[in-house]
Amino acid sequence: MAAPLALLVAAVAIVLSTTATASASAAAAANGTATSGCYSHLFTFGNSLIDTGNFIHYSTAPGPVALSPYGETFFHRPTGRWSDGRLIVDFIVERLGFPYWTPYLAGKSKEDFRYGANFAVASGTALNQLLFKKHHLNVASITPYSLAVQLGWFKKVLAMLAPTDQERKEIMTRSVFMVGEFGGNDYVHPLFQNRTVEWVRPLVPRVVRYIAGAVESLVALGATTVYVPGLFPLGCAPRLLFLFRDNPAGDHDPATGCLRSVNDGLVAVHNALLRRRLAELRTAHPGVTIAYADYYGEVTDLVAAPARNGFDAGSALTACCAGGGPYNGNFTVHCTDAGATRCADPSRYINWDGLHMTEAAYRIMARGILDGPFADPPIMSRCHN
């Protein structure tokens, strides 16, 4: 019975997602204004931080994201977004004056991709499943739709939108691309399979190489504006704090309470190497904007000064909706399970379910990329505000 029930849940979620997206799109189209002289399309690649419904359109058992309280804050129903409401890309889409996307896997026609496409899939990785299998890791929870697959999807959409070379060039020139965040799942999957930070760290150069390769592929196709987010501080995520709850007290940063071993020993290594590689790409491709989006700085600021940003001071490292225990980070119980511990007001929390942020946090993060200072140049710097 489990498989038919999962299929039924997925089908209901898809219908609800489509309804929610259609109504929200109509509102956005009515309230938004065309960004003349700005961008014609937005194309994004990534994982559950920006997945707007691809996962529930392919998975026969989408799990908690297809159930309430996911989506409760803005859409008032689950839409496949791993949050209580909108994601960073939703706020970017709103500012660009576009209606909310049809997820790529739900798109059927050219019209569905009129303003771009979101190829992000929950649990998406830069590396592919084969590489994880070679390291004797269980890939059951890793989507087969890695960065390379998502890039292939984009090429199909580009061909659909623009049958001639000149039309494709025009779309590439006038579009904005967001590649990532990638890397988080590449590292978190092994950590949740009892690998250590020291075991994971050697993966960093390969992950960054895959990300940089995707950026180079887009530039070769004609992209002129590409944003590449770094990792947010995984050591501040409640699920990681719960996982490493027995680490010595000295592993916790006195300013934030986050795990130094994860943030300094892994995330900072990834972000530094990524920034260096992007700087090399900028030198190799003068005239092309290849901008780093500083998710790490954004989230660290929120955690270090929660009250200043409208969050409860005592819950900066606590999940709003998860399985209880320290940091409300017990990952054996999902937010949607009967035994979950849920907060009364997600807008007062930075973290939603232990790994993903709340709409309130995503709103602030999006603003930092759209208007600065967490992306240079900000996305809106070439738009008429």
Q: Which residues are catalytic?
A: 48, 353, 356
Three-state DSSP state, 139: coil
Around Cβ 263, how many Cβ atoms within 10 Å?
A: 24
Are 307 and 313 in contact by the 8 Å Cβ rule? The answer is: yes
Around Cβ 154, how many Cβ atoms within 10 Å?
A: 22
Are 210 and 217 in contact by the 8 Å Cβ rule? The answer is: no
Are 13 and 81 in contact by the 8 Å Cβ rule? The answer is: no
The CA–CA distances, whole Å, from 262 to 191, 215, 234, 280 equal 10, 26, 7, 26
Picking from 133, 115, 129, 125, the residue whose alpha carbon sits closest to that of residue 150 is 125
What is the distance between the alpha carbons of residues 162 and 306, in angstroms, rounded to a whole number? 46
Around Cβ 371, how many Cβ atoms within 10 Å?
A: 15
